[in-house]
A and B are shown apart, each in its own frame.
Chain A
């Protein structure tokens, strides 16, 4: 079973994402911001991270940059999932090492399609 870390400061979004991911047979872990997500990754690296952008403490982009700069780890697939839906944000995210990008609102079909895109389903 593959594991997915859902990083979002909204409890509602985490819950919706969890439901979809569990339907897609992912073991789902949650983090409330980038810092929390880095801690979780240190404990156990997920196969994929579903990542919000705007969060308190540490935002998604800073998390991604730090993650990608960490040597000697099994780098997970990172899929942004954010309300930032303009081209400039998307380009920044990809440059920082995101594998895919979901513009909110999302549903099961989009998660499934994007995860298929990166070879996860």
Chain B
């Protein structure tokens, strides 16, 4: 791939999805886009880039962005955050929201649904706590294709074995041939919506908890900061943000601070740079 082609693709991916491709990752372009080129009846990657350059075909660009994103996800990924959710964040919210009995949770890179469904499963397991509450779980992602998969709730044997305890699997899934289908009961707890994190969050409203895991890792610092700062506007002052194991707010934005004792959990700061007292007592 020549450097002009590389620059075109690099800029395209960065502006469309935030994905940063460095020159040492050219092989990723080749391995992920060559199959797409062939499927589109083209000879290879060079032809694909030429077609994008001349036609600016939106459909093709969407497919390119889709092919370049990593959708990997699994149930209860890293386990810790879900323990924190179950044992600290949700019990605290149940107290602080007792008058309204309304919770809003946003998974901002929901991928194939394992993350929002893991949250739904945690809550379902203690349903006596929540049964007269209004629980909204919103899953958003840039990829329409992956959201279709999330909505279907059909997982391969491999997918249901990664992170999902067997007791939960037999309780909430039924076997459909080689696949496992999540019960309608759980699926209906999550709403999905296409949303690019680089675009406006207008109309989403305010959330008590935001999961934004394993997506900012692909962005440059400016986009990381932009996403986190805009999320701040959609987060309750005593809410929390969950980031992936390799992600942090440190050095990116001072709108959040890590919650002590809960790895990967961040609380929004106030004008003085302090986090809400509720967040400080979460681990206690």
A interface, CB within 8 angstroms of B = 85-87, 90-91, 94, 100-103, 106, 109-110, 113-114, 116-117
Cα distance A114–B74 in the bound complex, in angstroms: 13
Report how many A-B pairs have Cβ atoms within 8 Å: 33
Q: Classify chain B: how many residues form its interface, as a range.
A: 10 to 19
Nearest first, the 5 A-B pairs at minimum CB distance are A101-B166, A110-B161, A113-B162, A113-B163, A117-B165
- Residues of chain A within 8 A (CB-CB) of B165 are 100, 117
A117 CB to nearest chain B CB (Å): 5
Instruction: Give A102 Cβ to nearest chain B Cβ, in Å.
Output: 6
B158 close to A110 (CB less than 8 A)? yes
Beta-carbon contacts under 8 Å, B150-171 to A:
157-158, 161-163, 165-167, 169-170
Bound: A106/B175 CA distance, A = 18
Indicate if the CB atoms of B163 and A87 lie closer than 8 Å.
Answer: no
Of B74, B161, B166, the contact of A94 (CB 8 Å cutoff): B166
A91: chain B residues at CB < 8 Å are 170
CB of B79 closer than 8 Å to a CB of A: yes
Name the contact of B161 in the complex, choosing from A86, A87, A114 (C-beta under 8 A): A114
CB distance from B214 to the nearest CB of A (A): 15
Instruction: Out of B79, B161, B174, B175, name the residue touching A102 (CB < 8 Å).
Output: B161
**A103 to B155, alpha carbons, bound, how many Å?**
14
